[in-house]
Amino acid sequence: MMSTTVDIVPAPLRTVDQHRCAIGKLGITAKARSVPIGDAVGAVLAEDVVADRALPAFDNSAVDGFAVRAADVVGPERLPVRLLVSACSVAGRQPAPLHVRSGESVQVMTGAVVPLGADMVVPVEVTSGFVETFGVEEVTIHSVDSRSNVRSRASDFEVGDVAVRAGTVVTPAQVGVLAALGRTRVLVESAPVVAVLSTGSEIRAVGTELERGECHDVNSAMLVADLLRCGADVHLEPAVADDVNACRAALARCAEVADVIVTTGGISAGTEEVIRLALRGHDVEFVSVAVKPGKPQACGKVEGTPIVCLPGNPVSALVSYELFVRPVIVAASRNPQADRTMRTVRVDGETVPASPIPRVMLGVVDGESAAIIRSHSVGALAHANCVIVIPPSDGGLGPPGEYPAWMLDSVASTRRGTCI
């Protein structure tokens, strides 16, 4: 048994919105990561990609043909015209700069450097055709049009131009731009990494044989399943017993790898609440929130990493997660398709004891009507498909009544995170 005690100082109840605001101020975001450009497809750029070179890097031909001086060929009185073919420019091969003088041309291939002095490339299709002997043979040009067929240096990007902006969802087309600029890697927004930690000496990993007084780690399994569906990556830390040093070590491991830590259990007003004890001295605020279930809550930072601490009862943990954690993770994941569907449901024939604070209760929706699940045991999770918000009241809830609810089975997103 732990001999350490912790002082519990009563504080005014915090509203749900106030606690949401406190969690929002923690700055829960996903860190950008560097990936090979081929792996960036579908990801969101986390940086402006700035051209560090001109693109194209040189004047090049858009067609196969002959580089000429426009003054030698433009004008009907000049056509047809015969020009000496002085040399050939081939893409990727040009040992020395080529020049086009008046009365001459240079045979040029698509993508090859346009010789100095040339300001037009005449397509081979409107000429007498390519030659084999340079400096001797001539080409006859039959017609020209207004197009230069020259891709000018820096016509796509000058040095310093933003080629692809941050926030762009990368497609294979943008990968082509990155490759053209010589980029091999790029920063993209990643999924947030959420570390999940359950506490309690009675908690055992799912699948292990249980002794008397033990139970499986329901909370981790439940939260991890939905975090992955939100698009987050998850680090599942093995559950820790009610041992302060073991809990501190587990929290330190989580802080090293995660963008946010989510714990369950160990935050109530008892003398052996391990999360409370382990987080003494850290910038973590333990509060009572005006909501049932889920009154005890905590949030803050551990070694610079945001942490949100939820109650240990599975129903309380689920309701608290839905209220305080899930919206932040969906936002950090930039995955709005994972948002819950909100709707109004009609509750008939139910009574709920009066409460001066809101109640957030599991329910079962069938069509437009809903029934409240009163139990806070694990069995309640088997049938719940919604969470119903009951406002504070002086009397019981009586029929008929319409109340806001969010649907637990309403997620359209196909994005999934990974366990890391």
Encode pLDDT of 24-33 as tens digits.
999 999 989 9
Three-state DSSP at 244 gives helix
Mean pLDDT of the chain: 91
- What H or E segment, with its residue span, contains residue 61? strand 60-61
Lowest mean pLDDT among 90-94, 120-124, 131-135, 155-159: 90-94
Strand partners, 35: 186
The stretches of 300-353 forming alpha helices (DSSP H) are 314-320, 326-332
* pLDDT value at 398 more than 70: no
| DSSP H or E run through 235 | strand 233-240
Q: Is there a contact between 178 and 186 (Cβ–Cβ < 8 Å)? A: yes
pLDDT band at 2 (very low <50, low <70, confident <90, very high): very low
Task: Name the residue with higher pLDDT: 373 or 164.
Answer: 164
CA distance 373 to 388: 10
What is the rounded distance in angstroms from the CA atom of residue 375 to the CA atom of residue 151?
72
pLDDT band at 320 (very low <50, low <70, confident <90, very high): very high
User: In this structure, are residues 359 and 381 in contact, taking their beta carbons and an 8 Å threshold?
Assistant: no
Taking only the tens place, the pLDDT of each residue in 105-125 is 999 999 999 999 999 999 999
Domain architecture of the chain: domains with CATH? 16-33+191-338 (3.40.980.10), 39-55+156-189 (3.90.105.10), 60-151 (2.170.190.11), 342-407 (2.40.340.10)
